Amino acid sequence: MKNDIAGLVRPVLRDLVPYHVPVHTGVVKLDANENPYDFPPELLTGIFERVDGQTFVRYPDAEARELREAIAAYTGLSAENVFVGNGSDELILNLFLTFAVGGRVLIATPTFGMYRIHTVIAGAEPVAVNRDPDFAVDPERLLQAAQEVPAKVMVLCSPNNPSGNTIPPETVEQVLTGFDGIVVLDEAYFEFCGKSSVSLLGRYPNLVVLRTFSKAFGLAGLRVGYMLAHPDVIDAVWRVKQPFNVDAFAQLAARTVLENRSLFAPQIEVLMRDGAALYERLRLLPGVEAYPTEANYVLFWTPLDAQTVYQGLLARGVLIRDLGGPGLERCLRVSFGRPEENTKFLESLEEVLGSGLSF
């Protein structure tokens, strides 16, 4: 039938559950690992001073040359090693469209759910490889999986979302040495921990490092991400890139942020200091297990069902992330907020845990 739209959908997509982001107003928002502080007003003024009458009427630089050069200077690489995207999500999808279609993608889980979704969208098969109970990556397990289930791409996240732990560079190097495919290392939260494996790029052309402006640099609303890779990888991914994927205003804003990144250092310092205090208070709550973190969020387990805790907090005006699922049963993730937001979360959580199902 002409109106059977469902029948026209690719079979692999019919059961795919879209990434859903609920919108709630008037709540303490601690669900998306964003920088909770206002964008520096002097920097905002500086960005708009650079906007002229041609900024919006002309197509943006399709190669984002000035931004790539700024990122290269920031990371100590060459502009030929930099590729800019409309957030890390576009980069992940483009990588899978370039290297994984018809093949398999190994994903160290539990981790960011979009890796699996983009794998399926790209027409590849996601293969989960379990992390250790403490969420550490076992390189031998990954390499064994790569032998048993040949794959073209492997995805690692450091600090891992949602567990917050990092992967030591020596572990990343062990994986790179034993795996012939593309190893995607997502370092979206690098600025919060300062730990990176970018130094391995010079020796391993199959390494791709992802970074973003959405977290520490407060540009989540503009969607700017970038990848660092060997020029041959950049050239290959360029073939699937949309012509004008990063708009002119976003490029301008990201360049200005890098030029003035020192303005974000105090925010990051305060956020991580207050986050450490939140973690210590959280782990002292009866029945709660909080996992050590090197990012701007913390994963925790409670005796109650995750959805019960999530709804209980939401009823009290606090929005966090419900992660209940395989490997994360009864687990939730809370982003570090401003001091008053952290206090509101902790007080509300105590109430929810104390009242059980009554909320």
**What is the DSSP secondary-structure string of 244-292?**
T-S-HHHHHHHHHHHHTGGGGHHHHHHHHHHHHHHHHHHHTSTT-EE--
Question: Which ranges in the chain are annotated with CATH 3.90.1150.10?
Answer: 5-39+264-355
CA 21 remoteness from chain centre? 14
Rg of the chain on CA atoms, in Å: 21
Alpha-carbon distance of 332 to 323, in angstroms, equals 5
What's the chain's average pLDDT?
Answer: 95
Question: Which ranges in the chain are annotated with CATH 3.40.640.10?
Answer: 41-260
CATH topology of domain 5-39+264-355: Aspartate Aminotransferase, domain 1 (3.90.1150)
Omega of the bond leading into 159 within 30 degrees of 0 (cis): yes
Query: What contacts 24+ positions apart, CB below 8 Å, involve 142-147?
Result: 142/106, 142/108, 142/175, 142/179, 143/174, 143/175, 143/178, 143/179, 145/106, 146/106, 146/178, 146/179, 146/181
**325: pLDDT confidence band, cut at 50, 70 and 90?**
confident
Give the tens place of pLDDT for each residue, 174-193. Answer: 999 999 999 999 999 999 99
> Which two three-digit tokens encode residue 149?
């289930």
In eight-state DSSP terms, residue 104 is E
What stretches of the chain show up as alpha helix (H) in DSSP?
Answer: 5-8, 11-14, 41-49, 65-75, 87-99, 114-121, 139-148, 169-178, 190-193, 231-238, 248-259, 265-283, 306-315, 339-355
The model's pTM is 0.95
Give the tens place of pLDDT for each residue, 331-358. Answer: 999 999 999 999 999 999 999 999 864 4
41-260: in CATH 3.50.50.60: no
Listed range (19-23, 297-301, 342-346) with the worst mean pLDDT: 19-23
107 close to 137: Cβ distance less than 8 angstroms: no
Q: Which residue has the tokens 């007003």?
A: 41
